[in-house]
Amino acid sequence: MPDQNAPVAPAVSPAVVEAIRSGMTETPDFPSEGILFRDLSGLFADADGLRTVAAALVEGFGPLDAVAGVEARGFVLGAAAAVATGHGMLAVRKAGKLPGEVLSESYALEYGSASLEVHPSTLPAGARVVIVDDVLATGGTLAATIRLMERAGWDVVGVAVVLELEALGGRAALAAATAAPVKALLAL
């Protein structure tokens, strides 16, 4: 099994870091007091920056069959990474958004729980998938996504995020969920 701490790709290039930093704004006390919200809307609006960051997310994971993007901002990154690398994109949806047969995985929130869903027939068994999202915070959403991929019979070959909020300990939650490498383009 791959080691989460092993290098996945060469060091993140200065161009990738610059694209992230120039496309990110910080809003204090949003959505609640004491939270510093980091918004990547500026990055998403910059075609060159988005292309650069999306390609960097999936670089180094080896052969892939699909990029899985987690709703909602993971959709933007997942679709861009899939197009940049010539792969398909798997949409990991919030509960109740997909018709027909779905697999569902629940996870705890600060107050309550939430669920994610996929169509299990979207990819063949054994498909190699990289999961992408904008931020790794506590790791709950991404750990649930990993469990969901594995229940569908897909092989999670990596998890990649634009930002990792190290103080929130999300990497430890992912280590408990998978041995696949975890890559953050910028750790804060």
- pLDDT tens digits along 69-96: 999 999 999 999 999 999 999 999 999 9
Radius of gyration, CA atoms only, the chain: 16
| 180 in a structural domain | yes
| Residue 110 placed within a domain | yes
Write down the pLDDT at residue 11: 83
> Does residue 29 carry a pLDDT above 80?
yes
Q: Which amino acid, 156?
A: V
**How far apart, in Å, are the Cα atoms of 134 and each of 41, 127, 152?**
11, 23, 23
Q: Is residue 163 part of a domain?
A: yes
Per the domain annotation, does 32 fall within a domain?
Answer: no
Instruction: Give domain status of residue 13, yes or no.
Output: no
Reported as a single tens digit per residue, the pLDDT across 12-22 is 999 999 999 99
Distance separating alpha carbons of residues 157 and 168, to the nearest angstrom? 23
CA distances from 54 to 38, 91, 123, 126, 168 (A): 18, 16, 21, 24, 24
Instruction: Give pLDDT tens digits for 133-159.
Output: 999 999 999 999 999 999 999 999 999
Q: How many domains does the chain have?
A: 1
Query: In this structure, what are the phi and psi dihedrals at residue 111, rounded to the nearest 5 degrees?
Result: -130, 85
Of the candidates 59, 73, 93, 171, the residue annotated as catalytic is 73
Could you identify the residue written with the tokens 């996945």?
Answer: 8
| Cα 95 from chain centroid (whole Å) | 18
Mean pLDDT of the chain: 93
Model confidence band, residue 56 (pLDDT cutoffs 50, 70, 90): very high
| 177 pLDDT above the threshold of 70 | yes
Average pLDDT over residues 122-142: 97
Q: Is the pLDDT of residue 6 over 60?
A: no
Q: Is residue 18 part of a domain?
A: no
- From CA 116, how far away is CA 53, in angstroms rounded? 25
CA distance 126 to 65: 9
Name the pLDDT band for 166 (thresholds 50, 70, 90). Answer: very high
pLDDT, greater one: 179 or 110: 179
Residue 112's pLDDT is 81
List Cβ neighbours of 98 (8 Å cut-off, separation of 6 or more).
117, 118, 119
Q: What share of the chain has pLDDT > 90, as a percent?
A: 88
Q: β-strand 155-164 against 128-136: which pairing, if any?
A: parallel
- With respect to residue 97, please indicate whether it lies within any of the assigned structural domains: yes
pLDDT (0 to 100) of residue 10: 57
Domain span at residue 119 reads 62-187
In this model, does residue 172 exceed pLDDT 90?
yes
Please tell me which residue in 26, 71, 93, 110 is annotated as part of the active site: 110
pTM equals 0.92
Instruction: For residue 135, give the nearest of 159, 164, 167, 171 by alpha carbon.
Output: 164
Does 67 fall in a domain?
A: yes
Task: State the CATH number of the domain containing residue 73.
Answer: 3.40.50.2020
- Per residue, the 3-state secondary structure of 45-84, as one string, reads HCHHHHHHHHHHHHCCCCCCCEEEEECCHHHHHHHHHHHH
Identify the pLDDT of residue 111. 74
Active-site residue, 73 included = yes
